[in-house]
């Protein structure tokens, strides 16, 4: 199967940025700038701004996603948000296992798996983040790290659930550092992820999975990264907070 058969997804991750007023203002700019696209365009905003963002984008091609989702249906989990709650706002995508959640909030491959399965039960596509840190890259164990994250993060997935999953390869050393992986480095790992999914599920199933690259993707480097055979989109932090830059990235996917 060739790349054009996979859905290209350009997703912004606003992380912990923008209050309610700022969210409205930036989305007004975004909806004006981004009128047509050959790909799915998604903005994952802080949970508290989801309803504001959904309202602000209701007549636009931009979809709103979440940045996390708890595994339990409900219960005594102060501060957490369930997949059912996200679904009730029409949310269809949630970032799961971002490296910042792994680093600062104790996220593990096991909790990534539980959160992703809760997403699937509620018709939400998890965007599962994987990636090595600098030390792991320097030790030349990138593939081992990715293999564990994918195998454990996607444990007990059915083929159908795999089909409704996006993988985001985000090398930790490239996030927010301005240091992008070269297109070749990114392609090598994304191709490896696809090969692994082929072994774990089936080669044909793996061909249908959208694999994004994330880590200092910007208006200048997006085109080259997105032209690689196994890179089907981007997960963009900093550059998704600027309407013109984000629009350029969306345009690069055409």
Residues in touch with ligand 13P (CB under 6 A): 13, 98, 170, 175-176, 214-217, 235-239
CA distance 196 to 218: 28
Q: Which is nearer to ligand 13P, 12 or 113 (by Cβ)?
A: 12
**Measured at CB, which residue is nearest to ligand 13P?**
237
User: Where does the chain have alpha helices with state H?
Assistant: 20-33, 50-56, 83-88, 99-104, 109-121, 134-138, 142-153, 159-163, 183-200, 203-207, 222-226, 243-252
Q: For ligand 13P, give the closer residue by CB, 97 or 113.
A: 97
Residue among 166 and 201 whose Cβ is closer to ligand 13P: 166
Query: Least distance to ligand 13P from the beta carbon of 236, Å?
Result: 5
29 is catalytic: no
What order do you get walking across the sheet with 9-13 strand by strand? 62-65, 40-44, 9-13, 233-236, 210-214, 166-169, 125-130, 93-96
Give least dist CB 162 to ligand 13P, A. 21
Q: Catalytic annotation on 98?
A: yes
77 or 105: CB nearest ligand 13P? 105
Give the shortest CB-226-to-ligand 13P separation in angstroms: 14
Minimum separation from the CB atom of position 151 to ligand 13P (A): 22
Q: Please give the Cα distance from 118 to 72 (Å, whole number).
A: 7
Catalytic, out of 98, 107, 132, 251: 98
Catalytic residue among 63, 100, 132, 170: 170
CB 96 within 8 A of CB 116: yes
Q: Give the Å distances, CA to CA, from 148 to 73, 88, 102, 108, 143.
A: 27, 33, 14, 11, 9
Task: Return the closest-CA partner of residue 11 out of 69, 96, 84, 83.
Answer: 96
**Minimum gap (Å) between residue 67 Cβ and ligand 13P:** 9
Q: Which residues of 191-228 are buried (b: 16+ CB within 10 A; e: fewer)?
A: ebbbebbeebbeeebbeebbbbbbbbbbbebbeebbeb
Q: Using CA atoms, how far apart are residues 9 and 189, in angstroms rounded to an integer?
A: 18
46 versus 215: smaller Cβ distance to ligand 13P:
215
Token pair recorded at residue 174 = 């490239």
Q: Tell the smallest beta-carbon distance from residue 225 to ligand 13P (Å).
A: 11
Between 159 and 179, CB nearer to ligand 13P: 179
Active site residues: 98, 170
């Amino acid at each position: 199967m060739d790349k054009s058969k996979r859905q290209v997804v350009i997703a912004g991750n606003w992380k912990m940025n923008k209050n309610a007023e700022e969210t409205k203002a930036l989305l007004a700019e975004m909806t004006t700038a981004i009128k047509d696209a050959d790909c799915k365009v998604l903005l994952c905003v802080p949970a508290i701004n989801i309803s504001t963002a959904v309202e602000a984008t209701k007549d636009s091609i931009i979809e709103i996603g979440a940045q996390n989702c708890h595994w339990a249906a409900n219960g005594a989990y102060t501060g957490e948000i369930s997949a059912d709650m996200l679904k009730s706002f029409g949310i269809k995508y949630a970032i799961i296992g971002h490296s910042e959640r792994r680093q600062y909030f104790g996220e593990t491959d096991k909790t990534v798996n539980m959160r992703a399965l809760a997403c699937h039960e509620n018709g939400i596509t998890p965007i599962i983040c994987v990636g090595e840190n600098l030390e792991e890259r320097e030790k030349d164990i990138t593939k081992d790290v990715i293999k564990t994250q994918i195998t454990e993060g996607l444990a007990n997935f059915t083929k159908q659930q795999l089909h409704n999953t996006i993988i985001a390869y985000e090398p930790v050393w490239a996030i927010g550092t301005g240091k992008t992986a070269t297109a070749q480095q990114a392609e090598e790992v994304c191709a490896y992820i696809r090969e692994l999914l082929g072994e774990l599920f089936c080669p044909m199933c793996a061909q249908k999975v959208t694999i994004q690259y994330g880590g200092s993707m910007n208006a200048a480097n997006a085109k080259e990264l997105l032209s690689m055979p196994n890179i089907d989109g981007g997960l963009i932090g900093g550059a998704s907070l600027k309407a013109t830059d984000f629009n350029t990235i969306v345009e690069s996917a055409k």
